[in-house]
Structure formats: C-alpha cells, structure tokens
Chain A
Amino acid sequence: MDSPLLAVNHLSVRFERDVLKDVSFRVNRGDVLAIVGPNGSGKSVLLRALLGLVPHEGDVEWSGNPKIGYVPQKLAIEHTFPLSVREFMQLKEPSHEKIIELLRSVGLGDHDSYHLHHHILNQRLGLLSGGQFQRVMVAWSLADHPDILLYDEPTSGVDVGGEETIYTLLDKMRRQHNLTLILVSHDLNIVYKYANTVMCLNQSMICYGVPQEVLDPAALTKLYGGQTSFYQHHHE
C-alpha cells in the first residue's frame, strides 16, 4: 500500500490561546478531505499549518515533496486595487495562451473572446463578482500543476448557486488533473456530495472518517452546539 501523501501527527497550534489541539490524520493521493466546523474553530489555521505558515507543534509530513496549490479565504484586495486579472495570472503563468486556457477551463471563457478580454482579463481583480473571483483563484492555483490543492472556502462573497458550481468545478479539476483536495467548507451538503473523508474540527478533532458514517447528529451537536437545527441532508 502507498504511503499517505500527507501524514499529520499530534499537530497543535497556539497563539494567545489554543487554536488547534492534538490533531492527527492522513490524506492519501486522490482523496477529497473536507474540514468542517464553526467559525473560529481553527480550520483556516490548520491549512496554514500544513503549509508551514504558522508555528506549530507536532509533525506535518508530506510524502514525495508534492507541489501544493493554495487558495486562501480572502486576499487583501479592495475595489480600487490596480491589478488586472491578466496581471494576476501573469504572476504565475507568463504565456497569454496558457492563461486563456486556464480561465476557460474554470468556466470563465464560455462567452466570446471579447467578453473574456474586456470583462475578465482586463478587469481589476477587486471588481470581479465573488464567483468569478473564486474561479480566477482556482485557475491561478492550478497554473503550476499542483499535486494537491488546499482550498479555504470564503465565508461570504460567493452566492449559493455559484458555490455549488465552484465545487462541481473543483471536482472536475480533481478528475482531470489527478488532484488531491483538502477543502474547508461550511456547507455539509457539499461535503456529502464531494468529499470521501470529513474532519469535524473545533480546536480538536471531533469526528473523522467517511461523511455518511461519522456526520451523525451527536457529532454535529458536539461540533456546532445548539446551532444544528439548520442542518438538512438531502438524499439524492
């Protein structure tokens, strides 16, 4: 059996208080791991710890030096930030043709070429809609062909319809590029639909395993406290 792509053992992060406590898990190649939990539960910090961006205790072991793509929750970009989508993509991919190809592959080039150039490529990054912005970020993160993508879902800015399609897109990309995915999500329906493993996180790990098996009412109550009434699982 292959060694896991990622092995995390007893990972803890502490800023002024404990943010993550003793988290251990494995991710195999081709896995889709969804991390769920309430706001402030340490989900984004976990991704940042995996990337070595925050000081931590415990071991984070990547096997075979994989190329890691990362889409952070938000960027420090305001409406007036003078950076066009073209220039943003050029930070990673110099070829114009490849940029077009990437943007089309994430569903931004469905319209004619005029639309792509004027409303996407020459548009300021800060003026894109939430959905367009997420797609550009995915295209950007895929530009250097990562083996694994860490996707930190934004809490706001993507409409519900758009959110559904960004996951359809990620799923498509995963199949096409043989990607492993670790994603932070707030939507349990998305988790059921796309993830083969789920981790419930609230500083420490509350559940871990196949979503259909571990996401039971007891785990959800423990995870979200009294807020579980919103939860509804649509069987298809």
Chain B
Amino acid sequence: MNDPLLLQLLTGITIGLGAGYLGAFMVLKRMSLVGDALSHVALPGIALALLLHINPFIGAFAALTIAVIGIWTLEQRTNLPSETLVGIFFTISLALGLLLTPEPELLEALFGDIAKIGPADLFIAILAVGITFGVMSYARKGFILSIISSDLAKASGIAVRHIHFLFLMLVALIVALGLNVAGTLLMGSLVIIPAAAAKNLASNMFSYTWMASILGGVAAGAGILLAYFYNFSPGPMVVLAGGVIFLLTLFSQNTRL
C-alpha cells in the first residue's frame, strides 16, 4: 500500500460508504444540519491533537463524544430540539477551535488534508465503517420505528433514548472519520448529499440506504480522482461530485410527486 493515490481512494471510498449509509438515517430523522454543525464541534479537538502531536482523528472523536454526551443530556433534561442544542455547541466550539488551532494548521483543520492519510487511517476507516454498518443493521428496526413515531417505538418496547444516543455516537464516529477527507467545514455535506440524492431515487428503505451508501462512495472516489488529475483540493471536489449526483437525481420520478 505504497501508492498514495490508491490509499487516499480506498480510505475516501470507505468513509463515503459509511457516511452515505448513516446519512440516510440522518436525513429521515431530519437531522441533516446536525451532522453539518457537529463537524464544526470537532475543531477544538483537532486543534488539541495538532498541539499534542497525536492523530487528529482521536482529538476530533474525543471532542465529538463530549459534544454528543452534552447534547443528549441536555435533550433529556430540556425541551430544546437537537438542532438548537447542536447550534449552540457548534458556535462555541468553532470559536474555541479557531482560537486554539495554530495558524499554519488552520486550513488543514477546516478543509481536511487527504495527502496526510496513511495506512493507519485506512485501517481506522475500515474498522469504524464496519462498526457503523454492524450497529445499524443490528438496531435497524428500532431506528426506523423511532423515526416514524417515537410513541409507537416506545409502546413496542424499544429504548428510544438509548437508540438515539447510539445513533449520535455513530454520527460522531463518521464525522470524525471524514474530517481528513472533507475537513470540518465540508464534512456535513458528505453525510447529507448522498442520502438526499438516494431519497430522490428509492422507493423503499432497503434501496434507499444502500443507494445512499454507494453514492457516498462514488462521490468520494470521483472527487478524489478529479482532484488528483486536475490538481484541486480533494475536499471541495468530493462535495461537488456529490452535488452533481444530487442534481442528476432531481430528474427522477420521485421528485415529481
């Protein structure tokens, strides 16, 4: 695995598959902006990791975990919706992150730097995406039912609050993972765009979730290749590739309803 492009491609596609799959559920849960805002929460964690010379993924995931626990706890104790809480955490973290991040690394933290990806990152990506798929398929019924109606889910004996926490933790994991590819500013779109495109095409949950996953992988792969051949920054190219896919799906049958 010495070819840097191959390494970037494999890591990017793996993350794209996981982000698309998880994003499918986020879009249905109307948490599209939560992923976007959460990615900004990672900034202070990345800043600390850079200062301490450890893998930024670890710093980002730690910051996101703290944020998720904070959001979940506040959600249980107040009537504020996720979006409001994430919005609050987002601005505070962004401010903190901007102050903490050393200036030379600020661009890298904001937009990602796929060139720095090493074999360890690919290994972490495969492991984390594997965990995401595993957990989601194990708790799939509970997830879907709690999206449709939390009352119906609770009445069916599903631990809705725990499922929501598990889901937020998976979002934290995938967002932390994607920061290398898309950076804190653009990671949210890697989660949302493939799912939004798949929703335009799919007529059932099975095709929707897998299509979102595959489109996430395709967007990541295409973006990284285009960036490589035309000498652009990969993060924005991945997002633009996803955008083009979304635009194409607008011509499908579903969107004419």
Contact = CB atoms under 8 A, between A and B. Distances in A.
B99 interface: no
B149 A76 contact: yes
B155 A122 contact: no
Given A80-B257, A81-B28, A83-B148, A70 B155 contact: yes
B84 interface: no
Contacts of B203: 82, 84, 122, 124
A160 interface: no
Question: Chain A's interface: helix, strand, loop or mixed, by majority?
Answer: loop
Contacts of B207: 82
Question: Chain B's interface: helix, strand, loop or mixed, by majority?
Answer: helix
Interface residues of B, number: 23
B199 A80 contact: yes
Interface in A107-166: 122, 124
Contacts of A210: none
| B152, B156, B208, B257, most chain A CB atoms within 10 A | B152
Contacts of B254: 80
Given A82-B202, A82-B208, A84-B204, A51 B149 contact: no
A84 B148 CA distance: 12
A75 B148 contact: yes
Contact of A124 (B149, B198, B204): B204
B144 A91 contact: yes
A52 B156 CA distance: 12
A151 to B, nearest CB: 12
Given A79-B257, A80-B257, A84-B203, A51 B151 contact: yes
Contacts of A48: 151
A171 interface: no
Contact of A82 (B141, B151, B152, B204): B204
Interface residues of A, number: 23
A37 B151 CA distance: 22
Contacts of B161: none
A218 interface: no
A77 interface: yes
A53 B149 contact: no
A122 to B, nearest CB: 7
Nearest to B144: A91
A76 B151 contact: no
Nearest to B207: A82
B229 interface: no
A122 B207 CA distance: 12
A4 interface: no
A75 B151 CA distance: 9
A77 B204 contact: no
A72 B204 contact: no
B202 to A, nearest CB: 5
A87 interface: yes
13 contacts: A52-B154, A68-B155, A72-B149, A72-B151, A76-B149, A82-B203, A82-B208, A84-B205, A88-B148, A91-B144, A92-B156, A122-B203, A124-B204
Interface of A: 48, 51-53, 68, 70, 72, 75-77, 79-84, 86-88, 91-92, 122, 124
